[in-house]
Amino acid sequence: MVAKLTQGFWAKTARIILRNRVLILLGIAALTVALSTQWEHMRFSNSEANLLPDDHPENVRYQEFLSQFGEEGNTIVLAVRDPALFEPETFNRWNVLSKQLEAFPEVDFVLSTENLQRLVKSPGNEEFLLEPWITGPVENKAAVDSLRRMLFEELPFYDKLLYNRESQTLRTVVYLDKDLVNTSVRKDFVLQDLTSLIREFEKETALEVHTSGMPYIRTMNAQNIIDEIGKFIFAALAVTSLIFFFFFRSVRATLISVCVVVIGVMWAFGTLGLLRYEITVLTALIPPVIIVIGIPNCIFLINKYQQEVNKHGNQALSLQRVITKIGNATLMTNVTTASGFATFIITDSKLLTEFGIVASLNILGIFVLSLLIIPILYSFMPLPKTKHLKHLNKRWIDTFVNWMERIVRNHRIAVYFVSVALLVASIIGMYQIEISGSVIEDMPKNSDFVKDIRFFESEFDGIMPIEVVINTNQRNGVLKPATLRRMDQLDAHIEEVPELSRPVSVVNLVKYSKQAFYNGIPKYYQLPTSQESNFILNMARKSRENSNLLKSFVDSTGQIARMTTYMRDVKTDRMEAIEKGLLEEIAKVFPPERYTVYLTGKALLFLKGTKYLVRNLLMSLGLAIGLIALLMAYLFRSFRMILISLIPNLLPLLITAGVMGFAGVPIKPSTILVFSIAFGISVDDTIHFLAKYRQELVAHRWKIRPSVYASLRETGVSMFYTSIVLFFGFSVFIISSFGGTVALGALVSATLLFAMLANLILLPSLLLSLERNIADKKILKEPQIDILAGEEEEGDDAATNS
């Protein structure tokens, strides 16, 4: 009953589409124009992707830290490692660069040799004062050498902050306005003002300036994403169009398909603008994904139209049958594909939720576009010429289909043996997969800004901040000698960890105060003794300059302090070991009944976010499998058919996971997407095959063997076409400079290729081997929804090629 209603619905839909052709085209044009007006609202992300939900404890802690101390990632660092920097003319030019930077309204403060301050005692020994390290341009080499010796030998406070003593590297730290660092103003400053100043300096001095810092990295990374969107769209259009033309040998059919997917891309951009979603590394993939998924829709519809024309030459009947017979099948396959993307919505990650919403909506949108535009445009055109129908009888395709049929007929045991062997190998490989919490790993490896990241890691021990927040639970408790000694003990532990930089905290300032008290003698750069603490700390408290410096390290109440260290880009297991070691040392040094101490910072936040995401995405993959299993149950009303349909779709996922393990590709936000996306797409082939199989069962009077072989021959061509388009379509992501996007493209392509072979070889083999267990007329004769309308019901005995 439901199947007949479905057939009636699609027959009525076909009549409505073909009778209102002009009105529908005008409606599509109007909607496209309306969505294009939303493009102006598209924004590229100006902040790091937060993979944790807002109410996650780690996120709550981080936001609490920001409310106390402000944005942590607001510094841009410039560095030069060259002895020529200490020539008088060059050194003065370096200081001029600092002044130029400080003049910009986007810059809050610049710390450099130009404005370096030395802490000294006041004449009456009542407080500490800050005096300039230099008072103007340096006139000769002797003066530069004197300043250089003083900096490197007498000011340990600035070691690894402004200089590296061993390599003689000098750097400038630019603090951006914290209110502007996460806005588009940052982008304009970095790409225009900062870049032009650095190029001008390099041109005048012939020195290489290394630039880094989180605002700079984020800006350059975002610019790479922007640059790649156009490249991906063009590459996806070019590759899929060429393959389409190779299969159909028709310029007209190719142009119609390109028209459909271009409108789909325009809708995708319009959806992003309409929903006010930012363009991130993930949402930037949606337009090319729409192209790659839209072309197979066009293949099914145009292939069916040409088959019908070749069969009876009646255009009106051909167009009607395209909609009635392929519309439902295409809807089901697009729904399963959209379901794979839609499962990301439940992850509680804003980044993935937005990606899932826009991708799933536009996959359904490209289905509607292809179903409407292709029949309507063909209705205005003459019938395809004979040369355009030659592809329906290509010998090389017949050779491929015959090869598959021979394997299914004669080598089923070998198919099962190979499948089991691949399964065992995949399970072994899966145990070798690692989880990556590295922020840098997916960035373009050969880009200048990533090379500069490595430079700063080697010179200053890292760029990813880790914050230790120490709450003394009493007002002014930070400057108590006992607290300072405990912080110094933790400081020493952090310095022993090779992947962490020398920490910066109020301890450094107190040590510097003691050095200043003893007239700047470097050996006194240490914490005051018990006897010294009272008068040195009292002097420090009285000092207005010290009070200003303290704001960076201690909150306004004097109760909470921060210790900032920077971490190198390390593997996840090492990152977790470092975190564990820090927490153990904190528990040992700070009694929990007196102190509340926790770790935060962008490095740890990304690590926690990645692990959280992996757990949620595994859940979303399970949900995708469950949803599609329910859909199969609704379609075929057979538990056995559910199991048979899932096996050839789960095996490719396991094989891909095994390949990731053996190839050393880690699980990370980009690669974990592979499984839900590939599963949602690959199950389309299963639906087409089983739908055709049910149809052939009726035609062959419930004889399973001829039904399987007929289904294989009929669906093999279209499944091969679409799989090849999807394979090469997703392969375009390999041209990306982002490691995660490359891995995503390669893994999805490989998984879909495995899935095609599994659906054309393993699936029919299972149907033949289990024929006695599944040959149930009551189950298969009347499905809830008849995906492929039986042609015998319309008086046409020819089989439909789906």
Rounded CA-CA distance 503/566 in Å is: 8
Rounded CA-CA distance 150/152 in Å is: 6
Q: Are 35 and 271 in contact (CB under 8 A)?
A: yes
Radius of gyration of the chain (CA): 33
Q: Which domains does the chain have, with CATH numbers?
A: 2-48+219-431+606-794 (1.20.1640.10)
One-letter amino acid of 504 = V
Q: What is the pLDDT of residues 687-709, one digit of tens each?
A: 778 777 777 777 777 777 888 88
Residue 796: predicted pLDDT: 40
Which region, left, alpha or beta, applies to residue 120 given φ > 0 means left and ψ of -120 to 50 means alpha? beta
Q: What is the mean pLDDT of residues 409-436?
A: 89
Q: Are 405 and 760 in contact (CB under 8 A)?
A: no
Query: In sequence order, what are the residues at sequence separation of 6 or more whose Cβ sits closer than 8 angstroms to the Cβ of residue 117?
Result: 130, 131, 132, 133, 545
3-state secondary structure 728-763: HHHHHHHHCCCHHHHHHHHHHHHHHHHHHHHHHHHH
**Best CA proximity match to 740, nearest among 573, 576, 613:** 613
Structure token pair of residue 462: 């890292």
Residue 421: predicted pLDDT: 94
Q: What is the pLDDT of residues 323-333, one digit of tens each?
A: 887 777 788 77
The helix (H) or strand (E) run that includes residue 597 is: strand 596-600
| End-to-end C-alpha distance for the chain, whole angstroms | 23
Query: In sequence order, what are the residues at sequence separation of 6 or more whose Cβ sits closer than 8 angstroms to the Cβ of residue 757?
Result: none
C-alpha distances in Å from residue 181, one per residue of 76, 401, 599: 11, 59, 23
Rounded CA-CA distance 556/14 in Å is: 71
The helix (H) or strand (E) run that includes residue 170 is: strand 169-176
Place of tokens 């076909």: 14
Backbone angles phi, psi at 679, to 5 degrees: -65, -45
Tell me the sheet residues that pair with 212.
77
Residue 395: predicted pLDDT: 64
**Best CA proximity match to 329, nearest among 718, 679, 748, 645:** 718
Backbone angles phi, psi at 458, to 5 degrees: -75, -35
Rounded CA-CA distance 211/219 in Å is: 12
Rounded CA-CA distance 380/403 in Å is: 40
Rounded CA-CA distance 495/503 in Å is: 7
Rounded CA-CA distance 387/396 in Å is: 17
Instruction: Characterize 399-429 residue by residue with b for buried, 16 or more Cβ atoms within 10 angstroms of its Cβ, and e for exposed.
Output: eebeebbebbeeebeebeeebeebeebbeeb
- The packing angle between helices 639-663 and 602-636, to 10°, is 150
Q: What is the pLDDT of residues 135-193, one digit of tens each?
A: 888 888 999 899 888 888 888 888 888 888 888 899 998 988 877 777 778 888 888 88
Rounded CA-CA distance 72/74 in Å is: 6
* Of the candidate ranges 430-434, 482-486, 561-565, 570-574, the one whose mean pLDDT is the lowest: 570-574
Structure token pair of residue 684: 């389309």
Coil vs helix vs strand at 343: helix
Q: What is the pLDDT of residues 598-641, one digit of tens each?
A: 999 887 887 787 777 777 777 777 777 787 777 777 766 777 77
pLDDT > 90? residue 792: no
Residue 342, burial from CB neighbour count under 10 angstroms (0-12, 13-18, 19+): buried
Rounded CA-CA distance 17/24 in Å is: 7
Give the CA count within 13 Å in the CB-facing half-sphere of 144. 18
Torsion sign (Cα): 489, 493, 496, 499:
negative
> Cα 216 to chain center, whole Å?
19
Tell me the pLDDT of the chain averaged across its residues: 82
Rounded CA-CA distance 80/206 in Å is: 11
Q: Are 461 and 160 in contact (CB under 8 A)?
A: yes
Question: Could you tell me the pLDDT band of residue 771, with boundaries at 50, 70 and 90?
Answer: low
Q: What is the pLDDT of residues 260-311, one digit of tens each?
A: 999 999 999 999 999 988 887 778 888 888 888 888 888 888 878 887 887 7
* DSSP per-residue codes, 677-737: HHHHHHHHHHHHHHHHHHHHHHHTTT-HHHHHHHHHHHHHHHHHHHHHHHHHHHHGGGG-S
